[in-house]
Structure 1
Amino acid sequence: MIKFFRKIRQQLLTENKFSTYLLYAIGEIVLVVIGIMIALSLNNWNTDNANKKIVHKNSMTLIQNLKKDSVYIKDRMQKIQTQEDELFNLQERLSSREATVDTLLKIARYEFNPLTVTINFKNENAYKTMVLSGEINLFDSDLTQAIYDLYRKHEYFETISEDNFKSYVEAIQNYQESFPIKNRNNTINGPLQDMLWQDVNAKELIAKFNKLTVSKRIGYERKAGLEDLLKENSALLVELRKIENR
């Protein structure tokens, strides 16, 4: 093809048809430019089409993960509410005028639930992969920011939960130095454990049990934040489903 056009140009020059040659050369340049523009357009179209497929795939993955997170957040909120109710019940009984040391001994020895609720989101691998690969930036800028914001809040709640849990574990360890906590893993039970509860220091028990329950309650102050997180999670799901339905 190149030889064909070159032969035409040479023939025009030989025949001294310079003006015709010039017009032909310009036309040839225009055709080359048009060809380049068509090639670029096709390349851009292919790139855009490939990016749309990536966005759609990642949207599906995020939707599945966020649906699991919604179930998880609701589960955490329900468990926190249950334990808050238990703590409130203990508070009412121990703060009443009828409360005695025996009341506290009964609660501390037989009723107190040492388990607590922690926050640990487990469906974040896909999000982290999108961030590392840069694919997260293929979403619209507002949606990209919303995704970042939500997962940063996940990280925030995990950090706060871990800090509160460490404080609570320290309170349990301090408490158990003097008073055993009901636990099926206890090595010593029966009469030997009974000896630990004989002639206890009432003031020490009151102080340490109060510190223990306060430490546990502080860990649940984030419940209202979880409610807001659930709303943001639901809002992001709505936006991602718009992509799913395109």
Structure 2
Amino acid sequence: MADDNRPLKYMRYAVGEIVLVVIGILIALQINNWNEERKDNNNKKVFKQALIEDLKKDTAHLNIHIKNAEIFIKNFKETTVKLEKSDVTIDTVIKLYTIRGIHQMGLEPPNKTTFESLMQTGNIKVFNEDEIERLMAFYDEIKLRYFLVEYGYNYSWEKYQELSDMFGFLGKKEKDSPVYRMLRENMNESEFVRMYDLALYRFLGASRNGKRRSEQLLIMTNELINTLSDSHD
């Protein structure tokens, strides 16, 4: 074997076999990486579309809220103008209070179903770092903005509830009963006017802020929809 140089031949053969095995393993790993990357890309498309659908639902709710806020602002302004007239009487104020009641307003919470699912399952990792950072920043920001809108409405509603608790009897249909007449005759009219006026201005301010913040939310949401759509492979 030494004379025939066989050990060297066997060594070369063994090295060649090892090289082929290593190359095979590397090719298999590369194919696996390609398959995983393709799988991630397909999942990413599905997740992006789901995010877009959630955001589109939010834009629909925001558009409805903005229109409702515009109606409320118009009504509140008309009422406050009537209250500020020089010839206004307590009967006029009571009529405005009973005819044009105040309804609790609110804003549909953002639809975070897909985003929260991505975070909980860890599937958020199919997005790159910049995309993850933008999604997290967006949902953190809108959480605050939605809270501010709701806080304004809830605070205004609490003030109106105080008014309703004290003077809710004015809205009753049966006004000939002794109880109603007694309450009406003994009511603190100046306090009623003060509280009603305050409630109106609270709701007017809340509606204006709600409309403004909703318009900002709408812009932010549409921008994210466009970003996800543009990068929708």
TM-score (normalised: structure 1)? 0.81
Do the aligned partners of 2:170 and 2:184 also contact (CA within 8 Å) in 1?
A: no
Q: 1:147 to 1:237 in 2, by over 3 A?
A: same
Do the aligned partners of 1:56 and 1:243 also contact (CA within 8 Å) in 2?
A: no
Which structure has the bigger radius of gyration?
1
Paired residue for 2:212?
224
Sequence identity percentage = 22
Q: 1:16 to 1:182 in 2, by over 3 A?
A: farther
Cα offset for 1:126? 1.9
Paired residue for 1:214?
201
Alpha-carbon RMSD:
2.6
Provide structure 2 residue ranges, at least 5 long, that are not aligned to the other structure. Answer: none
What SS is found at the alignment partner of 1:98? coil
What CA distance in whole angstroms lies between the structure 2 residues aligned with 1:117 and 1:166?
8
Cα offset for 1:121? 2.4
Aligned residue runs from structure 1 range 35-46, under 5 A: 35-46=24-35
Matched, 1:170 2:158: yes
Q: Which has the higher contact order (CA 8 A, sep 6+)?
A: 2
Do the aligned partners of 2:156 and 2:199 also contact (CA within 8 Å) in 1?
A: yes
Matched, 1:134 2:119: no
TM-score (normalised: structure 2)? 0.85
Do the aligned partners of 1:171 and 1:212 also contact (CA within 8 Å) in 2?
A: yes
Deviation string, structure 1 residues 152-178 (Cα, Å, up to 9, x no partner): 233223423443344234213321232
Paired residue for 1:203?
190
Paired residue for 1:71?
60
Deviation string, structure 1 residues 76-98 (Cα, Å, up to 9, x no partner): 01111110111111122212333
The letter for the 1-side match of 2:95 is: K
Q: 1:141 to 1:189 in 2, by over 3 A?
A: farther
What CA distance in whole angstroms lies between the structure 1 residues aligned with 2:11 and 2:213?
74
The letter for the 1-side match of 2:198 is: K
Deviation string, structure 1 residues 4-54 (Cα, Å, up to 9, x no partner): xxxxxxxx7896523223322322222122112111101111111111111
Q: 1:60 to 1:13 in 2, by over 3 A?
A: farther
What SS is found at the alignment partner of 1:121? coil
Aligned residue runs from structure 1 range 1-246, under 5 A: 16-111=5-100, 113-121=101-109, 123-180=111-168, 189-192=174-177, 194-195=180-181, 196-198=183-185, 200-220=187-207, 221-244=209-232, 246=233
Deviation string, structure 1 residues 72-124 (Cα, Å, up to 9, x no partner): 1000011111101111111222123333333322212222x211321122632
What CA distance in whole angstroms lies between the structure 2 residues aligned with 1:102 and 1:33?
95
Q: 1:232 to 1:148 in 2, by over 3 A?
A: same
Provide structure 1 residue ranges, at least 5 long, that are not aligned to the other structure. Answer: 1-11
